[in-house]
Each structure stands twice: as C-alpha cells, then as structure tokens.
Amino acid sequence: MSRPRVFVTQPIAESALARLRAVADVEVNPDSSRVLPKNELIAAVKRADILMSLLHDTVDRDVLTANPKLKAVSSMNITQDRIDLAAATALGIPVTNIPAIVTDATADIAFGLLLAVARNIVLGDKLFRQGVYPGSQSNHLAGYAVSGKTLGLVGFGRIGQAVARRGRGFGMTIIYCDPRRLPAEEEATFAAGYRSFEQLLGEADFVSLHPQLTPETRHLMSDAQFALMKETAFVINTARGPVIDEAALVRALRAKQIAGAGLDVFEFEPQVSSELVAMPNVVLTPHLGSGVLELREGMANVVVDNTIALIEGRSPVSCLNPQVLKKLF
C-alpha cells in the first residue's frame, strides 16, 4: 500500500515533521511569512490525503471538496475557527484539533500588551530609533502606571485567571465578570471581586478580554461599552478579534473616550483598520498568543500525534467531530 500523503500549510517544528515523515509522504509549504491564498490551498489539497492546517487557514467547503479522496484535516487550533466543521462532518472527514495548551503563553502576551501600551514602550522604541531622546524626566513619552491599578477581566476561565495571577504580581486589584461566578473560596485565591459587565467597564483601568467567540459575544465591545470606560482606561484583546467592534474602537479612540488599546487579534484578521495602525496609543501584534518556540514545538507534536493516530487507525488525542472517525487507510 502506498504511503499517505500529508500537506502542511506552513513549516512546523522539525522534530514533529521527522516523526510524520516516518509514516507518510509529507509536503510542506516552505513560506512561513504568509497564509496560503485559497487557490493555492485548493491546489495543494488535490495532492493530499490529509491536510494539516494552521490557525489562519480557511478550510471551507470549497477546500474540503477540492479532492474527493481527502480523508482528514489535522488542525493546529483549539477551536474550529476557519474550518467548516458542518461540511467536514457531512463529508465524513474527521477534523482533529489540539487541547488547550496555550494558557500561559496567551496570558503573557496579554500582559505584555498591557505594559507596552500603558508605558509607551513601542512608541518609545520607535522614536529612539529615529534619534528622538526627550530625556528621562520629560513628559514627552510619559505613560500610565500599571502597579496598583485595577485590572478587569471579561471572562475568567483558564486564560483570564492566568492574567489575574500576573496582575497580582503587580499589586493590581483584580475584578472579573463571567457567566459563571466562582465560589467564594476560589475567588479568594485570586483576591478577585465579581462585578457585572457594566460595573467592570466603569471601574477598571485595564479591561482585558477573554470570552469565547459566540454569537452573543460578537461585538461585545461596541460604542455603548466604550462609553462606560474611564477616559484613562485601556482595552486589551487576546481572545478573538470580532469580540471588539473595530469601527467603534476607532471612534472611541478618536473621541478620547479611552486612553488606548493593545490588540493581538482583529475583527477581520489578518486585515486591520488603517486608522488603528496609525494611532500611537495602540499596540498591535500579529496574533502572537501562542508564539513561543517551546510551545509551538509542543503544538506541532500534538497535531502530528493526531495525524499519526489517524494513519494507524487509532483514536486521535482530540477530534471535533468524533462521530465520523473511522479507519482511513
């Protein structure tokens, strides 16, 4: 029997690829600087039995039906974002994913954005490289204190709690809102106070967003919500881009309703508003939440674990539509 053919949409850790090459013929798109456009992805899928996709690859019905012999999709993503799971299920194509292993890395980037935008770190770096040195006691680049301020966490799951732990290290007051309030003893471990969403927005100096993206949380932050925030407050988003109405965020920043924003995710990712790009009080990172070398290697090996399991007829670590799992080869 010929070996299965696997197409990988971007380079992943060589340790993982070496394991995969032991059981399959592997083709890797060598360009890590861009997401494959749809026509190139479809052309590649036509040559593959299994598609190994990354977070920003859009695997829609057109991609899934481009090759009638496509047997599975192994995704290096936790959720089904950008994958038409209903179509895959209808076609009998299992879609594997990775477990939630990005907690600390995402919390790190959230707090990094918080520090960077509050203390003008990115702006200071840019100006210094341009030869601007206003002096260490000048107010030219003076920002806002972080230590001792109030950190408001919208969503208090794994990542929200990890950000809370970092905030406590800075002596911050922790408040949170979540559909499920924690028992008092769990709140006490974070010294966290429960607030309604509206109360949190009015009280927090930093609003860090950590909800899942659902129809109810799309545009969770829009004009009415930004109007509730302090003029000296910042919004941080490392969850999903559409949680923020970007047009409303631009309006709030223009009107100086809030002091700034730190964003790792975007409503129309990878596109971002040109107005946000031009604003000095906005720090933007290209979805770096899991961008840690050690973590990326671990993620790559998990997705390869899933792929090898499918090839060998075993159950993968995690599957989004287990009802269609079957022996593929």
Q: Catalytic pick from 19, 165, 251, 287?
A: 287
Alpha-carbon gap, residue 83 to 309, rounded angstroms: 21
Q: Which residues pair with 8 in a beta bridge?
A: 28, 52
287 is catalytic: yes
First to last CA, the chain: 9
Determine the average pLDDT of the residues in 67-81. Answer: 91
Alpha-carbon gap, residue 259 to 119, rounded angstroms: 12
Fold of the 103-284 domain: Rossmann fold (3.40.50)
The SS3 call for residue 207 is: strand
Q: Which CATH superfamily is domain 5-99+292-324 in?
A: NAD(P)-binding Rossmann-like Domain (3.40.50.720)
The pLDDT assigned to 190 comes to: 94
**Within this chain, domains 5-99+292-324 and 103-284 share the same CATH topology:** yes
Question: pLDDT tens-digit profile of 128-152?
Answer: 999 998 887 788 889 999 999 999 9
The SS3 call for residue 221 is: strand
Share of the chain above pLDDT 90, in %: 86
pLDDT of 55 higher than 90? no
Q: What is the chain's mean pLDDT, rounded?
A: 95
56 is catalytic: no
**Quick check: pTM over 0.85?**
no
The pLDDT assigned to 1 comes to: 59
The SS3 call for residue 103 is: helix
Q: Catalytic pick from 203, 246, 267, 269?
A: 269
pLDDT of 285 higher than 70? yes
Alpha-carbon gap, residue 118 to 111, rounded angstroms: 11
Residues in CB range of 198: below 8 A, 6 or more apart: 228
Query: DSSP string spanning 40-65?
Result: HHHHHHTT-SEEEE-TT--B-HHHHT
Question: pLDDT tens-digit profile of 307-323?
Answer: 999 999 999 999 999 99
Q: Catalytic pick from 203, 210, 240, 246?
A: 240
Alpha-carbon gap, residue 310 to 284, rounded angstroms: 38
Where in the chain are the domains?
Answer: 5-99+292-324, 103-284
